[in-house]
C-alpha cells in the first residue's frame, strides 16, 4: 500500500539505488577495461630496460568519470527525457504560427551577411577585420556554395558523388591556367570555368549512368582521384605538386585592388590595405552563393528539378512516366559540377595559388558531410552545417585559452577531425535526417505543408 | 456490359504478334498473339507465373522480347513498334502508360507533385528545356498552371483532392493505387496498362476502382489493358479477356465465353491435360 500512496518517493528511492548499482557496475567495467591500457604504461629507463610506469591517477579519473556519468544518466537524464517525451506527446499538436524570425529567416540571413563586413570593419578596424572577413566569411561561403552545388547531385537527384572536389579542381585550374597563359580576366573565366566543369560533370556522368549505390560512390571517388593525379603528374602544364602561383587578382570592372595610382584604395582616397580586396571578395562570393541558391530554388519548381527529386524517389517509375533518366542524371551532374567550377575559379582567384593539395578526398568528404548533416535538399540546413563545420574549425584555432588548461603544447586544431567525428555521430543520433529533416514541396494546391523526412528517400545511388 | 452509346471504333490499338520472351532456359512467353481493341477494357488473366507481367514489361519497353512484334496504333494514325523503343519513349511517344504490381509512387513528393512529374515532357517543352523557365518566362507559368489544373482534375476523379498536399507515402493502400492510376493518366496515354490494380483492395475500394476505370474509358477515351487476379473485377468491367498459361494463350474472347472455357477452368483449378475433356463435359452439362 505504501508504494501506492506515495509512488513518487518510492520510485525516487529505487531510482537512486538503481543508478548507484549501474554506476558501480560501469565503474568496475571501466576499471577492468582500462587497467592495462591506461593504468600501466611501458617505457624505457636510462639503461634501456623496459619498465612499467603505473598511472593510477589517470585510471582513477576515468573510473570516476564513468561512475558519475552513468549515475547522472540513469538518475537524471533518462527520467528527464521520458518526462519530456511524455509532455510532448500529451501536448496538443497545435500548429502555432511560426515566429517573425522563422518566417523571414532567409531574408534576415541575407541582410545579416550583407551587413557583416561593415559591422566587422567598424568593430575591429581595417586591419583587425581581415581575419573575420577572410577566414570566417569567405572561407565559409566558399563551402556553402560547394555544398549547395553538391546538394543538386546528392540531395535532389540522389546520386551519391564522392568525387565532387574534382569539379572544384577543374574550376580552379581552369582559371589559374587560362588567366596566366592567356591573360583572360576573371569575369570571362568565371562562366568559362563553370562550363568546363559542367563538361567534366557530363564526362563523369556517362560511365556512371548505369551504376547505383556503392558502385556509383566508388566510381565517383575514383574520378576525383584521377583528376588529382593528373594535376600532380601533368607537370608541363600544371607544375605538379609545386602548384601554380601568381594567379592574377580579380578587378572590379577594371579597377585593380593594389597600391598603384589607379588602384581601388587611391581612387577612393583610402589608406592602402588588403582588407578592401577581402571585402570585395566577400561580396562576390556572397553573390555567387545567392546565385546558386536562386538557381536551385528555381530549378526545383521546374520540371527538371521535379524529375531529379522523382529520380531520387524511384527511377523505374520515372521511366514509366516518359522521363528520359539519362539526360536527367546528366543535367544533375552537369549543373552540380558547374557550381563547383564557379567556386573553384573564385577559390583560385582568392588564394592566388592552386596546388593539388587543396583537392584531396577529404575535401569531398567534408562537403558531402555538410550536405548530409544539413538535411538532404535543404539549403538552409546545409548553410548551417557549413557554418558549423568550417566556422568550428576556424574557431578551434582561436581557442588559445585551452593552452592554459592542457599545457602549452596543446594545439586544438589537431583535434579537428576527432571533434568532427564525434559531432557527426552525435548529430546523426539526435537528428538522423540532418538539421532540417523535412522537405519543402515545390507546388501546392491548398496549403504548403512540409513533407516529413520519414517519407523521402535518400536515393539509390 | 451496358450498351455503348456512341459507335466505338473497334480497330486494334495494340497488336501483339508472335511474342516470345526467353530468360535463359525459361520460355516465359511462347508465341503469344493477341489484340487490344480501341475503346475497350481488355483483361489479361492467368494463374501465377503464367507470364502476364512479362507481357506487360515487353509492351511497356522494360524488357526487350526475344522474338515477335508489338505494334501500337494511335488515334491519329501513327504507328509504333514498341519492341524497338526504350521504356521512356513508349510512354512519351507511343502514349502507352503503365502502373506497377507493387505500387511505385514518389513517396516523398506530395500528391500534386506526383501528378506534375507525370506531365514532365509537356512542361519541359513549355519551360524551353529549363532555359526559359529559369529566366521566368510567362509561357512556363501558364503551362504550369494548366498542368496544376490537369492534376486537380485527376485528383478529383480519383477522390484524392482532400489530400493533394500530403506526401504520397502517407496515403492508405487503396488510395495509393488510385493515385498511381491518376499519375499514369496525367501522361496523356491512349492505352493504359494496369498491373493488378485491384490487388489488396477491399470490396468497397474495388468498386471505387471499377468506377474509376470505367470513367477513364468513357470520359477520356483511353483503352485499357489490365492484369487481374480478382475474377469479380475482370468479369464485371472487361469487354475482352485473354487467358495465359505457361506463357501461351489458352483462351481469348468475351468474359462469358472465357468463363466457360474448359481449358481456363482446368488452368485455374489445376486439372491434368487428359482430364480437360471430363471437365468440358461437366461444364456443358452444368450449362444445360
- Residue A291 sits in the same domain as residue A170: yes
- Residue B88 sits in the same domain as residue B193: yes
Asked whether residue A414 is assigned to any structural domain, the reply reads: no
- Residue B1 sits in the same domain as residue B143: no
- Residue A163 sits in the same domain as residue A281: yes
Strand partners, B195: B227
- Residue B88 sits in the same domain as residue B159: no
Q: Which of A205-209, A414-418, B185-189 has the highest mean pLDDT?
A: B185-189
Taking only the tens place, the pLDDT of each residue in A319-352 is: 899 898 889 999 999 999 999 999 999 999 888 8
Positive or negative, the CA dihedral B146, B152, B154, B157 is negative
Asked whether residue B250 is assigned to any structural domain, the reply reads: yes
What residue has cell string 560533370?
A201
- Residue A258 sits in the same domain as residue A165: yes
Domain limit, last residue, from B124, B152, B187: B187
pLDDT the model gives residue A409 = 74
Confidence bin at A260 (pLDDT 50/70/90): low
Strand partners, B167: B110
Asked whether residue A430 is assigned to any structural domain, the reply reads: no
Taking only the tens place, the pLDDT of each residue in A213-225 is: 788 889 889 999 9
Interface with B, mutate which of A156, A293, A295, A303 (most B CBs under 10 A)? A303
Instruction: Say if CB B197 and CB B214 are below 8 A apart.
Output: no
Asked whether residue A412 is assigned to any structural domain, the reply reads: no
- Residue B140 sits in the same domain as residue B46: no
Domain limit, last residue, from A360, A375, A398: A398
Residue ranges of B 92-121 with Cβ closer than 8 A to chain A: 92, 97-100, 104-110, 112-113, 116-121
Q: What is the ipTM of this complex?
A: 0.84
Instruction: Say if CB B59 and CB B16 are below 8 A apart.
Output: yes
Strand partners, B120: none
The CA distance from B181 to the nearest CA of chain A, in Å, is 11
Distances from the Cα of A39 to the Cα of A62, A316, B195, B203, angstroms: 10, 59, 68, 72
- Residue A251 sits in the same domain as residue A305: yes
The burial class, CB within 10 Å (0-12 / 13-18 / 19+), for A349 is: buried
CB contacts, 8 Å: A455 with chain B: 107-108, 167-170
- Residue A152 CB partners (closer than 8 Å, separation 6+): A296, A299, A308, A332, A335, A336, A339
What residue has cell string 589559374?
A176
Q: What is the rounded CA–CA span in Å between residue A29 and residue A27?
A: 5
- CATH number, domain with residue B207: 3.40.50.300
- Residue B203 sits in the same domain as residue B234: yes
Asked whether residue B100 is assigned to any structural domain, the reply reads: no
- Residue A60 sits in the same domain as residue A208: no
Asked whether residue B110 is assigned to any structural domain, the reply reads: yes
Taking only the tens place, the pLDDT of each residue in B149-177 is: 989 899 988 888 888 888 888 888 888 98
- Residue B288 sits in the same domain as residue B267: yes
Asked whether residue A407 is assigned to any structural domain, the reply reads: no
Domain limit, last residue, from B187, B212, B245: B187
- Residue B60 sits in the same domain as residue B109: no
Three cell numbers, residue B172 = 492508405
Residue B251 sits in which domain range?
A: 1-95+189-288
Based on the structure, what is the number of domains in chain B?
A: 2
Interface with B, mutate which of A322, A339, A448 (most B CBs under 10 A)? A322
Please state the φ and ψ torsions of residue B240, each to the nearest 5 degrees: -150, 130
- Residue A312 sits in the same domain as residue A224: yes
Domain limit, last residue, from A372, A398, A424: A398
**What value, to the nearest 5°, has the Cα angle with vertex B94 and ends B93 and B98?**
105
Residue A56 sits in which domain range?
A: 2-82
Taking only the tens place, the pLDDT of each residue in A162-204 is: 989 999 999 999 999 998 888 888 888 899 999 999 999 998 8
Domain limit, last residue, from A33, A49, A82: A82
Mark yes or no for CB contact B170/A313 under 8 Å.
no
Confidence bin at A3 (pLDDT 50/70/90): very low
Asked whether residue B237 is assigned to any structural domain, the reply reads: yes
Provide the mean pLDDT of chain A.
83
Interface with B, mutate which of A299, A300, A302 (most B CBs under 10 A)? A302
- Residue B208 sits in the same domain as residue B284: yes
- Residue A116 sits in the same domain as residue A203: yes
- Residue A236 sits in the same domain as residue A380: yes
Confidence bin at B115 (pLDDT 50/70/90): very high
Asked whether residue A94 is assigned to any structural domain, the reply reads: no
Length of chain A: 461
- CATH number, domain with residue A163: 1.10.3470
Mark yes or no for CB contact B124/A304 under 8 Å.
yes
- Residue A110 sits in the same domain as residue A72: no
pLDDT the model gives residue B209 = 86
- Residue A208 sits in the same domain as residue A241: yes
Give the residue from B101, B113, B218 showing the smallest Cα distance to B164.
B113
- Residue A208 sits in the same domain as residue A285: yes
Domain limit, last residue, from B146, B167, B187: B187
Mark yes or no for CB contact B116/A443 under 8 Å.
yes
The burial class, CB within 10 Å (0-12 / 13-18 / 19+), for A5 is: exposed
Q: What is the rounded CA–CA span in Å between residue B167 and residue B177?
A: 14
- Residue A73 sits in the same domain as residue A190: no
Based on the structure, what is the number of domains in chain A?
A: 2
Three cell numbers, residue A407 = 599545457
Residue-wise burial string across B152-179, b where 16 or more C-beta atoms lie within 10 A, e elsewhere: ebbbebbebbebbbbbbbbbeebbbbbb
pLDDT at A4 > cutoff 60 = no
Amino acid at each position: 500500500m505504501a508504494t501506492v500512496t506515495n509512488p513518487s518517493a518510492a520510485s525516487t528511492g529505487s531510482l537512486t539505488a538503481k543508478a548507484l548499482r549501474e554506476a558501480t557496475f560501469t565503474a568496475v567495467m571501466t576499471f577492468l577495461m582500462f587497467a592495462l591500457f591506461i593504468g600501466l604504461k611501458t617505457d624505457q629507463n636510462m639503461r634501456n630496460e623496459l619498465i612499467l610506469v603505473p598511472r593510477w591517477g589517470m585510471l582513477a579519473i576515468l573510473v570516476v568519470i564513468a561512475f558519475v556519468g552513468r549515475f547522472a544518466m540513469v538518475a537524471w537524464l533518462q527520467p528527464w527525457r521520458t518526462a519530456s517525451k511524455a509532455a510532448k506527446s500529451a501536448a496538443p499538436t497545435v500548429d502555432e504560427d511560426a515566429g517573425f524570425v522563422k518566417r523571414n529567416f532567409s531574408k534576415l540571413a541575407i541582410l545579416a551577411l550583407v551587413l557583416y563586413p561593415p559591422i566587422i570593419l567598424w568593430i575591429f578596424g581595417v586591419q583587425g577585420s581581415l581575419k573575420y572577413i577572410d577566414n570566417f566569411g569567405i572561407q565559409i561561403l566558399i563551402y556553402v556554395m560547394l555544398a549547395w552545388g553538391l546538394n543538386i547531385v546528392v540531395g535532389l537527384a540522389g546520386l551519391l558523388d564522392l568525387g565532387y572536389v574534382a569539379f572544384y579542381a577543374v574550376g580552379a585550374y581552369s582559371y589559374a591556367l587560362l588567366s596566366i597563359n592567356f591573360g583572360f580576366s576573371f569575369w570571362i573565366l568565371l562562366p568559362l570555368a563553370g562550363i568546363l566543369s559542367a563538361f567534366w560533370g557530363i564526362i563523369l556522368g556517362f560511365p556512371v549512368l548505369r551504376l547505383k549505390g556503392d558502385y556509383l560512390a566508388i566510381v565517383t571517388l575514383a574520378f576525383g582521384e584521377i583528376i588529382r593525379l593528373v594535376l600532380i603528374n601533368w607537370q608541363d602544364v600544371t607544375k605538379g605538386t609545386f602548384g601554380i602561383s601568381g594567379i592574377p587578382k580579380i578587378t572590379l570592372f577594371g579597377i585593380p585592388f593594389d597600391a598603384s595610382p589607379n588602384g581601388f584604395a587611391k581612387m577612393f582616397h583610402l589608406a592602402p590595405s588588403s582588407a578592401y580586396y577581402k571585402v570585395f571578395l566577400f561580396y562576390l562570393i556572397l553573390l555567387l552563393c545567392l546565385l546558386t541558391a536562386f538557381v536551385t530554388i528555381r530549378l526545383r519548381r521546374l520540371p527538371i528539378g521535379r524529375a531529379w527529386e522523382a529520380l531520387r524517389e524511384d527511377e523505374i517509375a520515372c521511366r514509366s512516366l516518359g522521363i528520359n533518366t539519362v539526360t536527367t542524371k546528366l543535367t544533375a551532374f552537369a549543373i552540380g559540377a558547374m557550381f563547383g567550377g564557379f567556386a573553384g575559379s573564385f577559390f583560385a582567384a582568392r588564394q592566388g595559388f592552386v596546388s593539388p593539395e587543396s583537392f584531396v578526398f577529404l575535401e569531398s568528404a567534408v562537403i558531402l558531410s555538410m550536405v548530409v548533416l544539413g538535411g538532404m535538399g535543404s539549403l538552409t540546413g546545409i548553410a548551417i552545417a557549413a557554418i558549423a563545420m568550417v566556422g568550428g574549425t576556424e574557431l578551434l584555432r582561436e581557442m588559445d585559452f585551452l593552452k592554459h588548461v592542457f599545457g602549452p603544447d596543446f594545439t586544438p586544431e589537431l583535434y579537428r577531425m576527432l571533434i568532427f567525428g564525434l559531432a557527426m555521430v552525435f548529430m546523426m543520433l539526435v537528428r538522423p535526417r540532418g538539421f532540417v529533416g523535412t522537405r519543402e514541396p515545390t507546388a501546392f494546391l491548398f496549403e504548403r505543408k512540409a513533407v516529413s523526412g520519414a517519407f523521402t528517400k535518400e536515393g539509390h545511388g | 456490359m451496358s450498351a455503348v452509346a456512341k459507335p466505338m471504333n473497334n480497330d486494334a490499338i495494340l497488336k501483339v504478334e508472335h511474342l516470345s520472351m526467353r530468360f535463359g532456359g525459361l520460355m516465359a512467353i511462347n508465341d503469344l498473339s493477341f489484340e487490344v481493341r480501341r475503346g475497350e477494357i481488355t483483361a489479361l488473366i492467368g494463374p501465377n507465373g503464367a507470364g502476364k507481367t512479362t507481357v506487360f514489361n515487353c509492351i511497356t519497353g522494360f524488357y526487350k522480347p526475344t522474338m515477335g512484334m508489338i505494334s501500337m496504333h494511335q488515334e491519329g494514325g501513327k504507328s509504333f513498334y514498341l519492341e524497338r523503343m526504350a521504356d521512356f519513349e513508349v510512354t512519351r511517344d507511343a502514349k502507352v502508360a503503365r502502373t506497377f504490381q507493387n505500387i511505385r509512387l514518389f513517396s516523398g513528393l506530395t500528391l500534386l507533385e506526383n501528378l506534375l512529374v507525370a506531365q514532365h515532357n509537356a512542361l519541359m517543352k513549355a519551360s524551353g528545356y529549363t532555359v526559359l523557365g529559369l529566366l521566368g518566362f510567362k509561357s512556363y507559368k501558364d503551362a504550369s498552371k494548366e498542368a496544376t489544373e490537369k492534376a486537380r482534375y485527376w485528383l478529383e476523379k480519383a477522390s484524392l483532392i482532400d489530400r493533394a498536399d500530403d506526401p504520397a507515402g502517407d496515403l492508405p493502400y487503396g488510395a495509393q493505387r488510385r493515385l498511381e492510376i491518376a499519375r499514369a493518366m496525367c501522361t496523356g496515354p491512349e492505352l493504359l496498362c494496369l498491373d493488378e490494380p485491384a490487388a489488396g483492395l477491399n470490396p468497397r475500394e474495388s468498386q471505387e476502382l471499377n468506377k474509376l476505370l470505367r470513367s477513364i474509358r468513357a470520359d477520356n477515351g483511353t483503352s485499357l489493358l489490365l492484369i487481374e487476379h480478382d475474377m469479380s473485377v475482370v468479369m464485371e468491367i472487361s469487354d475482352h479477356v485473354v487467358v495465359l498459361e505457361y506463357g501461351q494463350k489458352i483462351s481469348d474472347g468475351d468474359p462469358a465465353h472465357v468463363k466457360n472455357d474448359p481449358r481456363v477452368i482446368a488452368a485455374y483449378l489445376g486439372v491434368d491435360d487428359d482430364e480437360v475433356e471430363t471437365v468440358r463435359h461437366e461444364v456443358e452439362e452444368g450449362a444445360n
